Amino acid sequence: MQNSDQKRYDKIADDQPPFALHFGLRILQAHPDCLRAEFEVTEALSNRNGVLHGGAIMGVADNLGGTATFLNLAAGQGTTTIESKTNFLRGVAIGETLSTETTPVHRGRRTQIWTTRFFRSDGKLAAVVTQTQMILSAQDRRW
């Protein structure tokens, strides 16, 4: 991999949309084959049970799935999430740092499928999100 490729990947990963800023997501590795990030589980992300809100997990995952897909697109292409499935395995306490790993299940011509895993600081898996992205060409943007 050339240095200029990595610069392009980092630029895509750094260019996070407003909604992602709410999570304080830090991208640790941005590569077309693997995207790694982490974020602090703050009070602002808590639910009724006083632990991390499931919606925050899904929000982070949707953002990472979109970013990972972008890292694999050609110029002029776009992407939109068409569906997403989450399994919640364990609660995550406020104050934790969650690590995420986003890896491809499928990178086809028309769809890409990405899985994001969330790990607690004790190394245990907290949640798994798999989502399907539809690839949009310039003329598909009407979708």
Residues paired with 51 in a beta bridge: 93
| Among the residue ranges 2-10, 30-38, 74-82, 95-103, the one whose residues contact a second copy (CB under 8 A) | 74-82
| Among the residue ranges 3-11, 26-34, 95-103, 123-131, the one whose residues contact a second copy (CB under 8 A) | 123-131
CB of 31 to a second copy, least distance (A): 18
Q: Is residue 89 a contact point for a second copy (CB under 8 A)?
A: yes
Provide CB contacts within 8 A for 27, sequence distance 6+.
10, 13, 14, 16, 35, 36, 37, 67
Q: Is residue 46 a contact point for a second copy (CB under 8 A)?
A: yes
One of 31, 36, 72, 78 touching a second copy (CB under 8 A): 78
Per the CB < 8 A criterion, the answer to whether 85 and 131 are in contact is yes
One of 24, 29, 36, 53 touching a second copy (CB under 8 A): 53
Q: Is residue 123 a contact point for a second copy (CB under 8 A)?
A: no
Interstrand relation of 125-136 and 111-119 (parallel, antiparallel or unpaired): antiparallel
| HSE of 139, CA atoms in CB hemisphere, 13 A | 0
Residues paired with 113 in a beta bridge: 106, 132
Q: Is residue 24 a contact point for a second copy (CB under 8 A)?
A: no
Rounded Cα–Cα distance for residues 41 and 96 (Å): 5
Choice between 2 and 123, CB closer to a second copy = 123
